[in-house]
Amino acid sequence: MTLRKQPRQNDDETPDLTASGTVGIGKPAGIQFSFDPQRPYLVVLLNDLGKTGLVDGNSSAGFFLRIMPGDHWLITFTLDPKWNWSFDHDAISFKTKGHAKHYKVISQDDQKVVIEAKSPYPVHNPGDNWPTPEDQPFNLYVLMSQSPNKTYPMTIDPDVKNPPLGGQRIGAIPTSAVPLA
């Protein structure tokens, strides 16, 4: 997670903003972003609300989403209501050209972003070679409000492993921490 003091960076590609026609086919997953109140600096937590196995990693090493071959998800990102924050307009972008084609934004408001996510690979057969692991880093843009007149733009930057290495748990991409002033 980073605080943005300048214009957005790594805005190489945004997912399709039109409905895909396949809403409801993907497995539902709810992921809530919150902060670790035990830390003296901001550490973003990703909570897998349905215990789907989609979220992997931890607050020390970072979090990522695991999309396995054959997976098709309907992911609802929400923000913990204990904090005064909201999703920014056009809340999601991918850092690398070509990755957004696997995702579609279904809906978005200030507290929720719903995306459809598909693996580019079919279901894995045990005798086949595992597809090459691919990181698909993306940015979610939020606005943190400290008072009615003070709003701070922030970027949450988790990765997607689509697919993860050999289908096994692998090390997460570190998440930057922002010290509290």
Q: Are strands 150-156 and 138-147 parallel, antiparallel or unpaired?
A: antiparallel
Per residue in 132-164, pLDDT tens?
778 888 888 999 887 778 888 888 888 888 777
Which of 91, 71, 70, 87 lies closest to 79, judged by CA? Answer: 87
Instruction: Confirm or reject CATH 3.10.180.10 for domain 2-164, answering yes or no.
Output: no
Q: What's the pLDDT tens digit per position in 15-47?
A: 765 544 444 578 999 999 998 888 777 788 889
Q: Cα separation of 118 and 162, whole Å?
A: 9
CA angle 80, 85, 90 (to 5 degrees): 105
**Predicted confidence band of residue 9 (pLDDT cuts 50, 70, 90):** low
Domains of the chain, by residue range, sit at: 2-164
- pTM, 2 dp: 0.78
